A and B are shown apart, each in its own frame.
Chain A
């Protein structure tokens, strides 16, 4: 498919049946656009148990070199599940504009 912006694609540019022929390109999809709130991690409270990593439905929480858990905001949908599940109350959902 020619490289055009999404909004420039014409009906003639589409693969038959809209088949996606480039494997794994869902990773380009910025689901982070959906959120209105994002998780803020409090290292004072966090004990690195990793429950947030397990519960995140987006799979976007990973631990960094020091073992702290962080959300990849390119994908985080702001659902708040991590904040609800955190046993140490270490995650607070904050409005994006407050970031």
Chain B
């Protein structure tokens, strides 16, 4: 029987990797990811997890070690955050382009400067286009469940891609939450052993990561794109099967009291749980507001976003990152793209908030909704965005 345990989410994520029976963990500790890899190091050192733990001198090396590990057919796990993900950046592209499955938990953290160890989605947004499957989670249970799903998705022979699971730094990683852990045998039935079709093997040599001449580079990128888009089918299958086996259901985009809402709020990650409180409060006051929470960040669920937002009058998208001098809110930009060709679509308002660890409270989300509606009523600068809570 599955058991419920009160546990810090970071440790629960490490326990999920243990349940997935990972073969190799390579990581470099960085706040706020540290507890995840510390706990895994403990598990390996104590003989509770039969895996190789490769401590490296940098994140660049950590992810490089993961490439090699996945390439020989070992189930591979890593975790990082903020600057660590930035230092990995070069290798992040390599892992997906070489079709090497692995799971990376990102304890989302703001990017320097100024130095901030606190959470936002800047690190995730900086790797949006790197070709990984990417999932945002909102609480500890979802983190555990989606780490397990991530292995299954990425290692599927039709997919063979690395998967990132985004977990808000501190706001989620350092919370103690009740978590339902599946039994090891249940996980084993859900998660078959990983096999790469062309692993590095001295008896059957292959070359991985060879250079690509101009005559072939475009074709490789097209193949990579098609493969990532086709992974969506498997992602849905895996979530469906997980739901059947474990009773917890996941979707590319999830809603909360959104069906008849005139005004929709959208946000990714753990802040959505606070936003739900706001929605409840406003609903109790008779306002037709709802929440839309994208979970699958890549491949981006354009169709689902369109379906779930097109009938609202106002859609307020909150980004916890900023595209400087570009789109403003990276999530909002994709939402607008989803809706561009629709005849009937909501007015879309882009809000940037929750940067560098700053909370958005229940009252804060109410202010964001009110301000969003005000912007629409005033008809002011719909193409731009506003910072929430910035001191002028």
Binding site for B on A (CB under 8 A): 6-7, 9-21, 23-24, 26
Q: Tell me if B210 and A17 are in contact (CB < 8 A).
A: no
**Chain B minimum-CB-distance residue to A8:** B215
Instruction: Tell me, rounded to whole Å, the shortest Cβ–Cβ distance linking A15 to chain B.
Output: 7
A17 & B208 in contact (Cβ 8 Å cutoff): yes
Interface: B97 (CB within 8 A)? yes
Q: What is the bound-complex CA distance between A24 and B98, given in angstroms?
A: 19
Instruction: Give, as a whole number of angstroms, the nearest-CB distance from A12 to chain B.
Output: 7
Q: How far is the CB of B48 from chain A (nearest CB, A)?
A: 33
Question: Is B210 touching A20 in the complex (CB atoms < 8 A)?
Answer: yes
Q: Which residues of B contact A (CB under 8 A)?
A: 97-100, 160, 197-198, 205-208, 210, 212-213, 215-216, 219-220, 222-223, 226-227
| Residue of A whose beta carbon sits closest to that of B210 | A20
For B226, list chain A residues within 8 Å (CB).
11
- Which residue of chain A is the closest to B205 with respect to CB atoms? A23
Nearest residue (CB) in B for A17 is: B99
Complex Cα gap A63–B227 (Å): 49
* Alpha-carbon distance between A7 and B214 when the two chains are bound, in angstroms: 10
- Please indicate the chain B residues that have their CB under 8 angstroms from the CB of A15 in the complex: 198
Pick from B207, B215, B219, B227: contact of A19, CB under 8 Å? B207
Are the CB atoms of B215 and A7 closer together than 8 Å? Answer: yes
- Given A14-B223, A17-B208, A21-B206: A9 and B216 interface contact (C-beta under 8 Å): yes
Is B220's CB under 8 angstroms from A19's CB?
A: no
Instruction: Give the docked Cα–Cα distance between A40 and B145 (Å).
Output: 67
A23 touching B223 in the complex, CB below 8 Å, given contacts A16-B99, A16-B198:
no
A sample of 24 cross-chain residue pairs with beta-carbon separation below 8 angstroms, ordered by A number, consists of: A6-B215, A7-B215, A10-B219, A11-B219, A11-B220, A11-B222, A14-B216, A16-B227, A17-B97, A17-B99, A17-B208, A18-B212, A18-B220, A19-B98, A19-B99, A19-B198, A19-B206, A19-B207, A19-B208, A20-B207, A20-B208, A20-B210, A21-B198, A24-B205
CB–CB A17/B100 < 8 A: yes
Across the interface, which residues of A come within 8 angstroms of B197, CB to CB? 16
Tell me, rounded to whole Å, the shortest Cβ–Cβ distance linking B198 to chain A: 5
Contacts of B213 in A (CB 8 A): 6
Q: Which residues of B contact A7 (CB under 8 A)?
A: 215
Chain B neighbourhood of A6, CB < 8 A: 213, 215-216
Chain A residue numbers with a CB within 8 Å of B220 are 11, 14, 18
Looking across the interface, which residue of chain B has its beta carbon closest to that of A16? B99
B206: chain A residues within 8 A (beta carbon): 19-21, 23
